[in-house]
Structures are given as structure tokens and as C-alpha cells.
């Protein structure tokens, strides 16, 4: 084989490290964090004796701990990625090797290999189809992973390769040269040539099976690997893996820089102070406090003191901040993994936090970008209701005539009388079965139409075991419904359709299929019955078919329209069905002209279209069908709840416009109360611009005025603004845009117009979009909106948007694992998203914000005491506290209480979080931790440090013990200051804790106990005797802490530090409560009252004037059936007429 590009093997890799690269790469990544690099710099400073005022271990121990914890977490994350990669790469596939089929792993498949795939197999790589089990080497595939469509598509091998069949010898000897284009991401295009025995054959997309597809209704097929691994179109569409960081991470980097600047300013002030003090006063102390070796001037002493103070005051940015953040995120990730309410028992799938660094961002989501197929829907179509001759069927009523809701306890219709019925089919309205059994003519005609007017292929391997191969799930649902109600579609040839009608086998002659396309929005068949009657049966969109009806149907049309409006109001997909009896002479003339048109060389499509229009006139209305595109459980409620949390939902789907809109209505995204739903479907750049502007003009006319804030921004700056502020529309609107129009709207000059218009709408639906366009839409919102985005999908076509969004969520559904492998979080059902955001996300965000506020506060209070002490110690870089206290303060004494709060705290429990989605809004606005909140923490820390220095200083100044001995020494002051500090920060965390557990209590009281235990141990005589140099504070604890005046001063410090905080919080809640405060007050009151009984939901019949038409059919299947190219040999069961539900009572009627 010849290939014009570098060859890849078929393994995929989403992991970052291997055994050898982990350490260097991980350390390189970790030192890219400003703080880590800063601590390394500090460590180097501490190794210089002239400026080192603290022991080296005060920095080494925390730094090694941080790097180790982060490294272990990254290793676990990457190990999970390796596991996922291994799962995909080790899938088995049959490869042709030396004339034999051998089981091989996916990753070992090479370009040029010939592989065998069987029914329901995932396609291993991008293959050239060589042969298959189906007639003419057709192969049916489902491309849901690639484009979100569940309808079957047909691929066909070249005739020259189809002859190879499954003959392994011939396939082994197959010797050809393939030349094709370089790997690219175009899913619908492929260009290449196959040279075989000197002949050249053109290759196109119709002969290719792409990785990510699933083989359906085809026993086996053989394919030649063209692209493998990263070169496959699926992987080319999957986008780049970006390093995701939360907004709090980015803010922390900015704040760390601010703190560095503040640190430098403090050190500069103290260094200047030292220079002045040494120049003015230092000479008096030279005798017993000589300058260090090499220091010969006051200015040089000041320079050295600058660096000494950098070391001492470095705790304003404690290294333990980062290790604590990692532990908190890891802990909150485990909560997601362990949440039983997000576990899906049907396929044993728990929720999974695949990335442990993004939890708090889940509490700030403003935009959700969702796939439709498999994410909102189950990919299952059910025949739900119908209207026949003006009567609606499908609802169930109780004895009093009240409509009741259908659930698993509702009695199903018994179809046991029909041996050919599908046991999985469920229907609840018994009156329809009665109408069929009573031989009601319109009802029989209705189901006869459903059993004849379609392009479904039947398969009957065992007698009576019918399997339908439907090109679209809608058709499958309609034919299955007809089958259960006694009109069983049994077999077909290019010329005939065999139907078992109420136990009687009838063979209809198929004379023509007037195929479906997106313009006609209908399909018809013309058949001759066994009795010789000529009939045209038609089904299609109500908006189209109503124009073609005979005037005698007007009254029936009104009744049917009423039913259609009800069906559409319930979000069902509707089709209208009609028929027409044909005159023999007219038909013979028409079929002749049809033959001429179908063989015309020019204008064939137009001529055929005219003929179809001509015969599909004066139709007689039969009724309408209503199919439910089954939503996943809880989707409408989830969307409603998320909307209350002020989250905007955009649906990005590869499906058709009608289908996408229909789902929009059925899951409460769109509704009839909206002011308008704009449809953008322009075919040129100007058309799209005008449609977008007209929509914006209707939503907000003021947005075109010169005084508009955004327009002023445009005029002021020559370049486009980075962030567009939110604009409010004058009502509730929706927007639907097609992929073709979206391509224009995403161009440079239109993208701003698209963002402004779309973001004013409550709901946006983009249909017929490619995987790459999904990512571009997400990128556009990220670019122009200061908002956190989340993308959720279940297929490979969603991978690029999952990777692009701030948070990517994979639904582990039926579409393989591609989306899950690329996601940050995964679970089995869309409904779990509300719990992920409103409970876990909100809690994680609140906990992280509380943690950061407290952490910055306690470290400012701790560190600034050194600053004030500098003015009383000759700016000599003398520490206030014992060195061991400095080392253990962040690692032992204050780490567990804050971790306890950050892992267990919750302002309200999960039930209230879901009942009051409004509580989520502060996270979107980033109210709990921002630059202003940081400044407040800083000011509170400065205030506390003043109290914590001057109260102990004043209490100790010239103080005597009760026995007359002096207590006013440095060591007693240091001990008192550090005891005050620790008790104050412990009280502060008590005030910040909303939810008390045994663990919190244990951590707070335990930390204080550990402090006193360690202090008394370290300051004991024994420790001094063993390690004289390391523990100089001998006897200080028992001497100082036994004095009542010391404890009085400690109590005064606590009161002065805590009282302003308590007072401020009380007054703020009373005088200026936030929306969250008001909701929390409501919850507090609700808790006091017994919960009200849950209101019984009244089943309300909704109605709408819009069309509920949606039909996921593809053009071209009619011609394929009439040509007979996809026909198998005739089924012996279907044509003999020997098997039917009542074979002893009925005789076979033939032609």
C-alpha cells in the first residue's frame, strides 16, 4: 500500500506523563507557579548565613510537603488517564494476518491492516470498506458519536472489492495501492484513489467507515485501515487538551503578586528603619551587639536586613496555602465520587470527578452548552398518541373522566392475541385496540398506511421473530406500532410489500416511492392491493400536507389540528397521514411520465418534484401520529431548576432544526409563553447579519442608540472590547440558528453581533453543527463574556467542546467512552447535573472562599506582629515568636481546623440547596471571594496584628509576678503573643463555621490542646538538657501561663479582635441583607414549621399553535429500495403465508 503521509499506529494517548518523565515534567510544572518558585528563592536566601534569620527547615519541610502532595495528586490523575487509555487501546478486534483472522488489540492495528467488524461493533479506525454480508456490499452504520444523529446511514464498497466477500485467501492476496488526502477533520469529505491490477478507482466518503461509528444490521464487514489513532477524523475533531485553571486560581496569582509588593514595601520600610537606627543609635550597642562579619556601614546593614525581613515576613504567602488548597479540592472530589444520589444503578455507573482541580468552578457556572442526542434524550422513539378520524387516542382516564398520569403502575394494553407483536411495545389506551378489533374502517386504514408507507427493512431469522432495520428511529416506532395493532409489516422485495393484516397475509404491489427530502417534508408510496385497488399513502409535516388536502376534509382538519396542537404542546413529534385512491388510466399516464423524468439527463430533480406535486393533491386526511423522543429522566425539571439558578442553557446538536426545536419544547427549554423564538437561517453573510440585528432590535431597541454602553465602548476603542457586559432583553426570547448560518456568524465581523444577540436570549439552540463549530461557539462566549462555561455531552462529537469549556462533563451513556475520557467530571444521567452544580459546586465554592478569607486573615495577623515588633527591636530582624512556633503554626496548629471547615462546612444542606436554586447566584457573580473581599481580610488582619502586639506588649511592660519576680522578658512576651494569636484565630474559625460536626470540634479543640502540649514539652527542662541549642525557651510556659494577669490580657485581646467582626456581621445582616441572606432567613423559618404536604400535580393539557413536526429521515432510501440493491434473499416465512396469528382461520390472499 502507498500512503502520502506519515503513518500512525492506532493507540490513543490522553495521559501527560510516563514513568521516566513524571518527576522532571511535574516539578517543571509546579515551579511555574509563582509561589513555589518564590519559596525556592527563599530557601536559597536562608542558606546565606549573613541574612538568614530563620533555620532552613522552616522552608524546606513545607516546600517538600507541598511538592509531594501535588505530585501524588497529579500522579493519581494521570494514572486514571492511563487506565482509561488502556481500556480503549486494549479493545479486541479481528485482524487478517497471514491468511487467518487473529484477535488483536486496537492499539496494535496499523495502517494497511485488513480487519473484520461484526454487528454492533465500534469501528476501530478510519477504514475503506472492502466487502460486507449485505447484498451489494452495503453496510449500515450509526454515526451518533460523530454527528449526534441516530438514524442509520448506508455505505457501499467498490464492486471490485465487494467480490472478495469473506474469502480470507482472496482478502490476503488483495494487493492494491491507496493514495489519499492527508489526515483532516472534515467528517463528510474524503478523496482518494485505489489502484488495483493497473485500474484506478475513485474513493469518496460513501466508501469510508470512520472511527466512532457503530456497525448496525450488518453481520460482518471487512475494511482496510486508512487512518489510525491520532490521524482518524474523530481524533482530529477532538480539539487540543488545554490546561484548565479556575478563576480563583487566576485571582490567587494576582493576589500573590500584590502580597509580594506589600511584602517588599514592609521590608523596605524596616530596612530603611534599620539603616537609620544603626546610624543614629547602633554605635552605642557595638560593644555587645557587634555588626556581622563584613558589615561596615549602616546602609549595608539596612540592605542585609531587607533580605532578612523577606525571610521572616514570607509567611504572608504561606506555602501551606497551596497544599491546603490541593487537599480541599481532593476531598471535595471524593464527595462527588461517593455521592449515592448521583449513582445510576441500571448500568452500575457512579459519578466521577476525573479532574480534582476544578471543583469550586462548578459553583460559578453561567452558561451550559449541551449536546442533545444521548445527553438530553435517550435515543429511543415511542409511539405515544395518535388522532384517527377526529378522535384522539393515547390518554388514560379514570372513572370520573379525569385524565390521569401514566406511570409504571398504569395497566398496559394486552397484545397477547397478536403472536407477531413486539413484546417491548407499550400502549395504555385500551379504546384504540377495541376500535381495531371492531374493524373500524378509518382505524384499519390508518394502521395499513403506517405498515406500507416507509423504507424500513424487515429481518426474520427465526419464524415469528421480526426485527426491523429502520433508517430513522421515527419510522421504526411507527411500523412497530402498526405491527402491534395487527398490521404486521413482514417482508419486502423491490416490487412488493407483505403485510399480515389482522392475521391475514396480504401482498401489496409497490409501484412507486415518492421519497422524502427536507424541502418536501413528506414521503408517499403508491401500492396496488391484492383486490386490485390503487392507493397513494402519504405522511409528512402538517404545515405541508394541510395544503394538499381535499376540501371535504375541512371539518376533520379542524379537529385534527386541535389534537396536533395538544401533541405539540406536550413536546411530541407529529406527522399527518393521508391517502388518495387513484384512477387506473391517470396512474398509467403518470407512471410513464415518471419514468421519463427519472431517466432525464437535465433537470431530473425538478421534473420529478413537479410530478410528485401533481399526484399528491386532493388527499383524504386520515389523522396524525405523535411520537415521543424519550427524554432522559428528570431533564425538564433539571432545566427548570438550572434556569432558576440564572444559568443559561445552549443546545448544540448535529440534528435537524425541526428535531432540535421539538426537543427544546419537550424539555421546557422553549415554551409558548416566550415573546418570540428567532430562527436564523440566512444563506449569506448579509442575511445572517440582518436576521441577528432584527432580533436584537426587537429584544432591546435601545441597543442601537449611540448612548448605549457597548456602542460607546466600540466608538472609544479602535480594537474590539475584551468583555461585553450583560444586556437585558425586554422579555423572554429564544434563538435557533442553523449550522450553515452559524458558519457566517462565527466570522470575525459577525461574531460580536452573534454574542450580543444570543446572550440576550434565555435559550439558544444551534442545529446541524459540526464538532468543531461546537467548540467555536463555546470559545466565542469564553472570549466575550466574563462567565464560567460548562459543556456536557456523551459522544465523540462533543469532545472538542468538552475540552474547550472551563468545565467539561461527560455522560457515560451508550455512545462509547470518548466524551468521558476527555471530561473533567462524568456521570450517567443529565439530571445529576443539578446536584453537581447546586450542591457539590456551590459547597466547594463557598468552602474555598471561606478557606481563602480565613487563611489570608490568619497569616496577615500572624506575620504583621513581626512588623510592629521591628520598631521596638531596633529593626534587627528579631522574630517575635519561637522558631518552632513559626514552623508549626501553619503546618500543625492552624491547618486542621481550617481543613475541617473547608471539607465539612455547608450553610444549608443539599435538600435546601436544590429547593432554592437562587442561592447559586452569588457564585456566578463571584461575591464570596474577590479583590474587595481580599482587601477586607487584609485590613482585618492588620487590625488584629495591632491588637495582638500592643495588648501583650502593654500587659508585659514593667510587669511583676505575684511573687514579686519580673515577668517582662522577651520569651514571656513571645509566648503570650503567640498564645493570644492562636486562640484568636481559633475563635475566628468558630465564627466562620456554619455547620458543626464532631470532626470540627475535635480539630479546633485538638489543635489548641496540641499547641499547649507541645509548648509545655518544648519549654521543659528535659528538652533543654537534651537539645540545648534548639529549645532555649526553658521554663517560660509554666512561669508565664500561671499568671492571672496574662490570661486577662489574652481575654482582652480576643474580645477586641472578635467584637468588631461580630458587630459588623450582625448589622450587615439586619440593615443591608444580600439576596442570599434573605433566602437563608426563609429556610430558617421553613425549618421551624413542619414541611407542607407535597402538592399533587394537576395534569394540565397544554396546547400550542406551532407545528410539532420532526422526522429524522434521509433522502435517498426510496431509490435504494426500488432498485433492490439492499434486498436479501426472500424470507421463507414471509412469502409462504403459512405463519400468521390465526393461520387456521385465514387463507393466504395473493396477487
Buried b (16+ CB within 10 A) or exposed e, 618-630: ebbbbbbbbbbbb
Burial of 351 (0-12, 13-18, 19+ CB in 10 A): buried
Report how far apart, in Å, the C-alpha atoms of 577 and of each of 171, 446, 899 are. 48, 8, 66
Which of 1102, 1097, 362, 365 shows the shortest CA–CA distance to 668?
Answer: 1102
- 309: cell is 525581613
Handedness of CA 1053, 1059, 1064, 1069 (dihedral sign): positive
CA–CA dist 22, 27 (Å, integer): 8
List 525's β-bridge partners, or say none: 513, 537
Cell numbers describing residue 157: 464498497
Closest by CA position to 843, among listed 920, 932, 789: 920
Calpha distance 36→43 (Å, rounded):
11
Is the distance from CB of 36 to CB of 256 less than 8 angstroms?
no
Q: Provide the phi-psi class of 261: left if phi over 0, else alpha when psi is between -120 and 50, else beta.
A: alpha
Residues 6+ apart with CB under 8 A from 1106: 568, 665, 672
Compute the distance between CA of residue 58 and CA of residue 975 in angstroms, rounded to an integer. Answer: 19
Helix (H, G, I), strand (E, B) or coil at 540: strand
Contact (Cβ atoms closer than 8 angstroms) between residue 914 and residue 1079: no
587: Cβ contacts below 8 Å, ≥ 6 apart:
511, 526, 534
Largest CA distance in the chain: 131
Instruction: Write out 1050-1115 in H/E/C secondary structure.
Output: HHHHHHHHHHHHHHHHHHHHHHCCCHHHHHHHHHHHHHHCCCCCCCCCCCCCCCCCCCCECCCCCC
Q: Which residues of 386-415 are buried (b: 16+ CB within 10 A; e: fewer)?
A: bbbbbbbbbbeeeeeeeeeebeeeeeebeb
CA separation for the pair 22, 16 (Å, rounded):
8
Q: What value does the CA radius of gyration of the chain take, rounded to a whole number of Å?
A: 38
User: Residue 348's CB: how many other CB atoms inside 10 A?
Assistant: 8
Of 77, 126, 371, 429, catalytic: 371
What is d(CA 624, CA 383) in angstroms, rounded to the nearest whole number?
11
Q: What are phi and psi of 447, to 5 degrees?
A: -75, -30
Q: What is the DSSP letter of 600?
A: -
H-state helical runs in 281-345: 298-312, 320-338
| Cell numbers found for residue 152 | 442509520
d(CA 321, CA 344): 36
Which residues, 6 or more positions from 1066, have their beta carbon under 8 angstroms from its beta carbon? none
Cell numbers placing 116:
473484520
Residues 550, 551, 553, CA angle at the centre, nearest 5°? 75
Q: Is position 77 annotated as part of the catalytic site?
A: no
- Residues identified as active-site: 371
Amino acid at each position: 500500500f502507498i500512503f502520502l503521509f506519515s503513518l500512525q499506529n492506532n493507540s490513543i494517548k490522553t495521559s501527560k506523563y510516563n514513568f521516566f518523565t513524571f518527576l522532571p515534567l511535574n516539578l517543571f510544572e509546579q515551579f511555574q507557579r509563582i509561589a513555589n518558585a518564590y519559596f525556592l528563592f527563599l530557601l536559597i536566601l536562608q542558606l546565606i548565613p549573613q541574612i538568614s534569620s530563620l533555620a532552613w527547615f522552616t522552608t524546606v519541610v513545607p516546600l517538600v510537603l507541598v511538592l509531594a502532595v501535588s505530585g501524588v495528586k497529579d500522579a493519581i490523575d494521570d494514572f486514571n488517564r492511563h487506565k482509561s487509555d488502556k481500556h480503549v487501546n486494549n479493545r479486541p478486534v479481528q485482524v487478517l494476518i497471514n491468511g487467518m483472522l487473529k484477535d488483536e488489540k486496537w492499539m496494535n492495528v496499523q495502517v494497511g491492516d485488513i480487519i473484520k467488524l461484526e454487528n454492533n461493533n465500534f469501528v476501530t479506525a478510519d477504514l475503506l470498506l472492502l466487502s460486507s454480508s449485505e447484498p451489494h456490499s452495503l453496510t449500515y452504520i450509526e454515526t451518533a458519536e460523530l454527528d449526534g444523529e441516530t438514524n442509520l446511514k448506508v455505505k457501499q464498497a467498490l464492486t471490485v472489492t465487494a467480490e472478495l466477500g469473506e474469502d480470507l485467501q482472496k482478502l490476503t492476496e488483495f494487493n492494491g495501492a491507496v493514495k489519499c488526502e492527508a489526515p483532516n477533520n472534515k467528517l463528510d469529505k474524503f478523496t482518494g484513489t485505489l489502484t488495483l491490477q493497473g485500474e484506478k478507482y475513485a474513493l469518496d466518503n460513501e466508501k469510508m467507515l470512520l472511527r466512532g461509528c457503530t456497525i448496525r444490521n450488518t453481520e460482518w464487514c471487512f475494511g482496510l485501515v486508512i487512518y489510525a489513532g491520532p490521524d482518524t477524523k474523530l481524533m482530529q475533531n477532538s480539539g487540543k487538551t488545554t490546561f484548565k485553571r479556575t478563576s480563583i486560581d487566576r485571582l490567587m496569582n494576582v493576589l500573590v503578586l500584590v502580597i509580594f509588593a506589600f511584602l517588599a514595601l514592609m521590608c523596605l520600610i524596616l530596612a530603611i528603619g534599620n539603616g537609620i537606627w544603626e546610624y543614629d543609635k547602633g554605635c552605642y550597642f557595638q560593644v555587645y551587639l557587634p555588626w556581622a562579619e563584613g558589615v561596615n556601614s549602616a546602609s549595608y546593614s539596612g540592605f542585609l536586613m531587607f533580605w532578612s525581613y523577606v525571610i521572616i515576613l514570607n509567611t504572608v504567602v504561606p506555602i501551606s496555602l497551596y497544599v491546603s488548597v490541593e487537599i480541599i479540592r481532593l476531598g471535595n472530589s471524593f464527595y462527588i465520587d461517593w455521592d449515592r444520589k448521583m449513582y445510576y444503578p441500571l448500568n452500575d455507573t457512579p459519578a466521577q470527578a476525573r479532574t480534582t482541580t476544578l471543583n469550586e468552578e462548578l459553583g460559578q457556572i453561567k452558561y451550559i452548552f449541551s449536546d442533545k442526542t444521548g445527553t438530553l434524550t435517550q435515543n429511543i422513539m415511542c409511539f405515544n398518541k395518535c388522532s384517527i378520524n377526529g378522535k384522539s387516542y393515547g390518554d388514560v382516564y379514570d372513572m370520573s373522566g379525569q385524565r390521569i398520569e401514566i406511570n409504571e403502575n398504569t395497566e398496559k394494553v394486552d397484545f397477547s392475541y397478536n403472536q407477531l407483536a413486539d413484546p417491548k411495545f407499550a400502549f395504555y389506551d385500551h379504546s384504540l385496540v377495541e376500535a381495531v378489533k371492531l374493524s373500524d374502517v378509518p382505524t384499519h386504514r390508518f394502521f395499513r398506511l403506517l405498515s406500507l408507507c416507509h423504507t424500513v427493512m424487515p429481518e426474520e431469522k427465526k419464524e415469528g421473530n421480526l426485527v426491523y432495520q429502520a433508517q430513522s428511529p421515527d419510522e421504526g416506532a411507527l411500523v412497530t406500532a402498526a405491527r402491534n395493532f395487527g398490521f404486521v409489516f413482514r417482508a419486502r422485495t423491490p416490487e412488493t410489500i407483505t403485510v399480515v393484516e389482522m392475521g391475514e397475509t396480504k401482498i401489496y404491489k409497490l409501484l412507486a416511492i415518492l421519497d422524502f427530502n427536507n424541502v418536501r417534508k413528506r414521503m408517499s408510496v403508491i401500492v396496488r392491493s391484492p383486490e386490485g385497488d390503487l392507493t397513494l399513502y402519504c405522511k409528512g409535516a402538517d404545515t405541508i400536507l394541510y395544503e394538499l388536502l381535499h376540501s371535504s376534509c375541512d371539518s376533520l382538519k379542524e379537529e385534527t389540528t386541535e389534537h396536533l396542537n395538544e401533541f405539540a404542546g406536550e413536546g411530541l413529534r407529529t406527522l399527518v397521514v393521508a391517502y388518495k385512491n387513484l384512477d387506473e388510466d391517470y396512474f398509467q399516464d403518470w407512471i410513464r411520465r415518471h419514468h421519463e423524468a427519472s431517466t432525464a439527463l437535465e433537470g431530473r430533480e425538478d421534473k420529478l418534484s413537479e410530478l410528485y406535486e401533481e399526484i399528491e393533491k386532493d388527499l383524504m386526511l386520515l389523522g396524525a401520529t405523535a411520537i415521543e423522543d424519550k427524554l432522559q429522566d428528570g431533564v425538564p425539571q433539571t432545566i427548570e431548576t438550572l434556569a432558576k439558578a440564572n444559568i443559561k442553557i445552549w443546545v448544540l446538536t448535529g440534528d435537524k432544526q425541526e428535531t432540535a426545536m421539538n426537543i427544546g419544547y419537550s424539555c421546557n427549554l422553549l415554551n409558548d409563553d416566550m415573546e418570540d423564538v428567532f430562527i436564523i437561517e440566512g444563506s449569506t453573510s448579509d442575511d445572517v447579519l440582518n436576521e441577528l440585528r432584527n432580533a436584537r432590535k426587537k429584544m432591546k431597541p435601545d441597543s442601537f442608540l449611540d448612548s448605549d454602553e457597548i456602542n460607546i465602548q466600540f466608538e472609544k476603542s479602535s480594537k474590539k472590547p475584551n468583555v461585553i457586559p450583560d444586556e437585558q432583553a425586554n422579555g423572554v426570547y429564544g434563538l435557533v440558528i442553523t449550522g450553515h448560518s452559524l458558519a457566517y456568524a462565527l466570522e470575525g465581523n459577525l461574531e460580536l453581533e452573534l454574542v450580543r444577540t444570543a446572550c440576550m436570549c434565555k435559550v439558544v439552540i444551534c442545529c446541524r453543527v459540526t464538532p468543531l463549530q461546537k467548540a467555536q461557539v463555546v470559545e466565542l462566549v469564553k472570549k466575550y463574556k466574563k462567565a464560567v462555561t460548562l459543556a456536557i455531552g456523551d459522544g465523540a462529537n462533543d469532545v472538542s467542546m468538552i475540552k474547550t469549556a472551563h468545565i467539561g462533563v461527560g455522560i457515560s451513556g451508550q455512545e462509547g467512552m470518548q466524551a468521558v475520557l476527555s471530561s473533567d467530571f462524568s456521570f450517567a444521567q443529565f439530571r445529576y447535573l443539578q446536584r453537581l452544580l447546586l450542591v457539590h459546586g456551590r459547597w466547594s465554592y463557598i468552602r474555598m472562599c471561606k478557606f481563602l478569607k480565613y487563611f489570608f486573615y490568619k497569616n496577615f495577623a500572624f506575620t504583621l506582629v513581626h512588623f510592629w515588633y521591628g520598631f521596638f527591636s531596633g529593626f534587627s530582624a528579631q522574630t517575635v515568636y519561637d522558631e518552632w512556633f513559626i514552623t508549626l503554626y501553619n503546618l500543625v496548629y492552624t491547618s486542621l481546623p481550617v481543613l475541617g471547615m473547608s471539607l465539612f462546612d455547608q450553610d444549608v444542606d443539599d435538600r435546601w440547596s436544590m429547593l432554592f436554586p437562587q442561592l447559586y447566584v452569588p457564585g456566578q457573580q463571584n461575591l464570596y471571594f474577590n479583590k474587595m473581599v481580599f482587601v477586607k481580610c487584609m485590613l482585618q488582619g492588620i487590625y488584629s496584628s495591632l491588637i495582638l502586639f500592643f495588648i501583650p506588649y502593654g500587659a508585659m511592660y514593667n510587669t511583676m509576678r505575684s511573687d514579686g519576680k519580673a515577668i517582662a522578658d522577651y520569651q514571656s512576651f513571645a509566648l503570650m503573643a503567640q498564645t493570644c494569636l492562636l486562640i484568636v484565630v481559633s475563635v475566628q474559625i468558630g465564627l466562620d463555621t456554619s455547620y458543626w460536626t464532631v470532626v470540627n470540634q475535635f480539630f479546633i479543640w485538638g489543635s489548641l490542646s496540641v499547641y499547649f502540649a507541645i509548648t509545655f514539652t518544648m519549654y521543659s527542662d528535659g528538652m533543654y538538657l537534651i537539645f540545648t541549642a534548639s529549645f532555649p525557651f526553658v521554663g517560660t510556659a509554666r512561669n508565664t501561663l500561671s499568671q492571672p494577669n496574662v490570661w486577662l490580657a489574652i481575654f482582652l485581646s480576643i474580645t477586641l479582635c472578635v467584637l468588631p467582626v461580630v458587630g459588623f456581621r450582625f448589622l450587615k445582616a439586619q440593615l443591608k441583607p444580600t439576596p442570599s441572606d434573605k433566602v437563608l432567613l426563609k429556610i430558617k423559618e421553613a425549618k421551624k414549621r413542619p414541611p407542607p404536604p407535597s402538592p399533587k400535580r394537576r395534569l394540565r393539557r397544554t396546547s400550542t399553535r406551532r407545528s410539532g413536526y420532526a422526522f429524522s429521515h434521509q433522502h435517498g432510501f426510496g431509490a435504494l429500495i426500488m432498485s433492490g440493491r439492499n434486498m436479501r434473499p426472500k424470507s421463507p416465512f414471509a412469502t409462504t403465508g403459512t405463519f400468521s396469528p390465526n393461520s387456521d382461520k385465514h387463507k393466504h390472499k395473493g396477487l
